[in-house]
Chain A
Amino acid sequence: MSTPNPPGGPTTPNPTGRDDARNPTAGREGVPGSQGPGPRTGEGRSGGRRRGRGGRGEQAVVPDATFTSYYGRPVVKASPWEADIPAYLFLGGVAAGSSLLAAGGDLTGRPAVRRAGRIAALGALAVSFAALVHDLGKPVRFVNMLRVIKPTSPMSVGTWILSAYAPGTALAGAAEVAALLPWSFGWPGRLLRASARPGGIAAAVIAPGVASYTAVLLTDTATPAWHSAYRELPFVFVGSAAAAAGGLSMITAPTAQAGPARRLALAGAATELTAETIMERSMGLSEETLRTGTAGTLMRISKLSTALGAAGTLLAGRSRVAAVLSGLALLTGSVCTRFGIFHAGQASARDPKYTVVPQRERLDERDGRPAQDPAGS
């Protein structure tokens, strides 16, 4: 990310012409200290005992923050999660929104909306579940999630929310799937059909929790970009869920029935984009991780796609093609939001700057010392 630019001393010319900071003479403040952490992390991240992140430009958007770290090593650890988790965030949102739409469709006589919603919710939930299990270090111990009920653990709470959400979703979804099949299934089938509505409604009541708790899942961590977004992220996520589910419904349901879906999608997109904007302003330094690297790309696509999808939705009442395209755009936006925020968090954990600088400023303010740099504020 940067070459060391230690305090006090002048930057020494690099005799080797290499600029990866393995330059032995560069550091003035403890020479090995000025070196990268070495091949072990493969990060090539330098800076070490640096003050001042003399960035090479790509990230020097925010004024240079002055800080010290231990050989540029992360202070907090990035989560070990891989694509499973952002995929789950997205699918959970789709499932939740779909359950809501399905229930609404059920209650307001929009069978196509109901059917597609229930099936989508069930499908998304099933894949979510697979993703969650797959992400575990010990998948066979998934059931241990049910050992305890911990209000302090968003994942525990989420597990119980999902546990409450899943039966209704499964019943409602299964009923729709069964209805598509050519068999009647006898009395179990009848029972299934009878339980579909209560199940669907129960799922819909719980669904908003499914959509919003995942925000807490991320923000209740020491990952700087996630934690600093804790005030707005639930709104971003429910917005994203609404937009995605609405978009999906726009694709799967006939235009005539999809009015609520469009309205939900629009509201969701508007909420997401608004909340994101507020979030970016309140996050502080780590906000820059939303604008840089993989996360930056994803977030740009997300915003553009969501905005286009929202704009298209305004036309989608008249055009099936517009509905499908808008729906796809909204889904894309939602996927990118989830992956973008996920990656921003991971990136913010890997660079000690995002941990150290805000804490140092907070500490200095508390101690009455002038903040070293108004980075990100």
Chain B
Amino acid sequence: MSLADTGPGTGLPGFRAGAEGPAADAGWTDRPARKGFFTDTSICIGCKACEVACKEWNGVPQDGLFELLGSSYDNTGALGASTWRHVAFVEQRKPLGGQRTGVTDLGMPAFDKPGAVADPDERTDFRWLMSSDVCKHCTNAACLDVCPTGALFRTEFGTVVVQPDVCNGCGYCVPACPYGVIERREGDAAHVPNVGVAQKCTLCYDRLREDQTPACAKACPTESIQFGDLDELRQRADRRVAALHEQGVMDARLYGNDPDDGVGGAGAFFLLLDEPETYGLPPDPVVTTADLPSMWRRAGLAAAGLLAAAAVAFVGRSR
């Protein structure tokens, strides 16, 4: 029996969104243009307004303990059940295209007081990257696919949302997400809402219904977080990358904008200044259900094998 790889993306076409987009695929006949976020990290100032505005609007509780993480100015660590926007801070000894910093040229000292011992390794370049992460609202969303209750669903805007009144906290969506976004909320149910239920960004589904901008994008002081029709955002992002390249910021690249990527393109995509993994993002995420048909076939084969083996065990009368 061959266990050869059938590779991702060879599954049943029915498991992946069709040409009309994920909302059509999810049965929405009367649907607006697909909505999304374009997060341009090249103009993020790391103020965390998005984190707070999100929490305030969605009633997301305090996340964890009041402890310094030591990861630059990031004290929330990662996206999770109670952090739906997360700002990453990355300090790097790399140049930022077009930027000059005064960290260069620390010559050798000639002074013997305290304070006179300089770094023998001369500093070179420095940059401080900030990026506001969020649920990607994938075109092919693993969390949604694996949800056994229908708590996770595709909205008419093409976004992926948890219905907290439906979710029974099976937790399956948690390991399914290739970005590590969704999480089951823990805590004291007497004081915290939706304990035991999977939680993540809703792209402010309630606000979208009234044609309002999601809380994070509305608050963002520098328009690093841009909300809008996904098609338009993708074009805008292409122009932005081209402009940055022209300005010498050759590190600029888009992440999650490609409809042909492993998740069929993200509804929330990013302009990054380094490799995705630098920001804690997977470099080449693939929706796990891409392999699901193959998995089902193999499971079926295995099941058949078991049935056959059992039959043979009884049929054979050698002993």
* Direct A/B contact, Cβ within 8 angstroms: yes
Q: Is A47 an interface residue (CB 8 A)?
A: no
Query: Known interface pairs A38-B68, A70-B278, A75-B277. Does A49 touch B313 (Cβ–Cβ under 8 Å)?
Result: no
Q: How far is the CA of A296 from the CA of B294 in the complex (A)?
A: 28
Partner of A144, one of B166, B292, B300: B166
Q: Are A153 and B302 in contact (CB under 8 A)?
A: no
For the complex, is B107 an interface residue (Cβ under 8 Å from A)? no
Interfacial chain B residues near A241, Cβ < 8 Å: 306
B90 proximity list for chain A (CB < 8 A): 30, 33, 49, 70
> Looking across the interface, which residue of chain B has its beta carbon closest to that of A282?
B3
- Contact between B169 and A137, CB atoms less than 8 A apart: yes
Interchain CB contact (< 8 A) of A38 among B69, B94, B196, B311: B69
- How far in angstroms is the closest Cβ of chain A from B161? 15
CB within 8 Å of B: which of A67-115? 67-71, 73-81, 96-97, 100-101, 104-105, 107-108
Number of residue pairs across A and B with beta carbons under 8 Å?
Answer: 326
Q: Taking A32-B71, A104-B310, A135-B170 as contacts, is the C-beta distance between A68 and B175 under 8 angstroms?
A: no
A16 at the interface (CB under 8 A from B): no
Contacts of B149 in A (CB 8 A): 141, 144-145, 147-148, 156
Q: Report if A128 contacts B (CB, 8 A).
A: no
Indicate if A155 sits at the interface (CB-CB under 8 A): yes
A347 part of interface (Cβ distance < 8 Å): no
Which label, helix, strand, loop or mixed, suits the secondary structure of the A interface?
helix
Contact A219 B313 (CB under 8 A): no
B175 touches A356 (CB 8 A): no
User: In the complex, what distance in Å separates the CA atom of A108 from the CA atom of B176?
Assistant: 43
Is there an interface contact between A360 and B180, defined as CB atoms closer than 8 Å?
A: no
Counting CB contacts under 8 A, is A120 at the interface? no
Interface string of A48-79 (1 = CB under 8 A from B): 11000000000000000001111101111111
B42 contacts the other chain (CB 8 A): no
Chain B, range 283-304, C-beta contacts under 8 Å to A: 283-285, 288-289, 291-292, 294-296, 298-304
- Inter-chain CA distance A100–B303, complex, in Å, is 11
Contact with B along A313-331 (1 / 0, CB 8 A): 0000100000000000000
Bound complex: CA A153 to CA B177 (Å)? 13
Interface segment among A259-267, A286-294, A301-309: the answer is: A259-267
A65 to B294, CA, bound (A): 29
16 A-B residue pairs with Cβ-Cβ distance under 8 Å, sorted by A, are A49-B90, A70-B90, A74-B78, A75-B282, A76-B178, A100-B307, A100-B310, A137-B171, A153-B148, A219-B291, A220-B176, A223-B175, A263-B316, A282-B3, A359-B285, A360-B283
Contact with B71, one of A35, A100, A226, A349 (Cβ below 8 angstroms)? A35
Does A28 reach chain B (CB closer than 8 Å)?
Answer: yes
10 smallest A-B Cβ distances: which pairs? Answer: A137-B169, A137-B196, A70-B280, A30-B91, A208-B303, A141-B168, A234-B302, A152-B145, A221-B175, A38-B69
Inter-chain contact B175/A153, CB cutoff 8 Å = no
**Are A153 and B313 touching (Cβ within 8 A)?**
no
Is A375 close to B, CB under 8 A? no
B306–A96 CB distance below 8 A: yes
A1-28 interface mask toward B, CB cutoff 8 Å, 1 = contact, 0 = none? Answer: 0000000011000000000001000001
Q: Are B69 and A81 in contact (CB under 8 A)?
A: no
For residue B234, CB closer than 8 A to chain A, the reply is no
Q: In the complex, are the beta carbons of B314 and A260 less than 8 A apart? A: yes
Q: Is the CB of A38 within 8 A of B71?
A: yes
Taking each of B4, B15, B307, which has the highest tally of chain A beta carbons within 10 Å of its own beta carbon?
A: B307
Within 8 A of A (CB), among B173-217: 174-185, 195-198
Residues of B near A259 (CB, < 8 A) are 313, 317, 319
Q: Across the interface, which residues of A come within 8 angstroms of B180, CB to CB?
A: 74-77, 222
Binding site for A on B (CB under 8 A): 3-5, 15, 64-65, 67-72, 74, 77-78, 80, 88-94, 121, 142, 145-151, 166-172, 174-185, 195-198, 275, 277-285, 288-289, 291-292, 294-296, 298-307, 309-314, 316-317, 319
**A213 to B146 CA separation, bound complex (whole angstroms):** 13
Q: Which one, B72, B289, B291, B306, contacts A100 given CB within 8 A?
A: B306
Chain A residues with Cβ below 8 Å from B145 are: 150, 152-153
Tell me which of A39, A207, A222 contacts B177 (CB under 8 A). Answer: A222
**Cα(A320)–Cα(B191), bound, Å:** 58
CA–CA, A68 and B300, complex, Å: 38
Give the number of chain A interface residues (Cβ < 8 Å).
Answer: 110
Say yes or no: A356 contacts B277, CB within 8 Å.
Answer: yes
A104 and B311 within 8 A (CB): yes
CB distance from B250 to the nearest CB of A (A): 16
Which of A137, A152, A205, A362 gathers most chain B CB within 10 Å? A152
Judging by beta carbons under 8 Å apart, are B303 and A153 in contact?
A: no
A189–B204 alpha-carbon span in the complex (Å): 57
Q: Does A37 contact B (CB under 8 A)?
A: yes
A74 to B288 CA separation, bound complex (whole angstroms):
18
Closest Cβ of chain B to A51, distance in Å, is 10
Max chain A C-beta neighbours (<10 A), residue from B68, B149, B166, B288: B149
A199 at the interface (CB under 8 A from B): no
Report the minimum CB–CB distance from B1 to chain A (whole Å).
Answer: 8
User: Which of B64, B65, B72, B301 meets A33, CB within 8 Å?
Assistant: B72
Give the shortest distance, in Å, between A258 (CB) and chain B (any CB).
10
Please tell me which one of the listed residues A75, A159, A234, A356 contacts residue B298 in the complex, with CB atoms under 8 A apart: A234
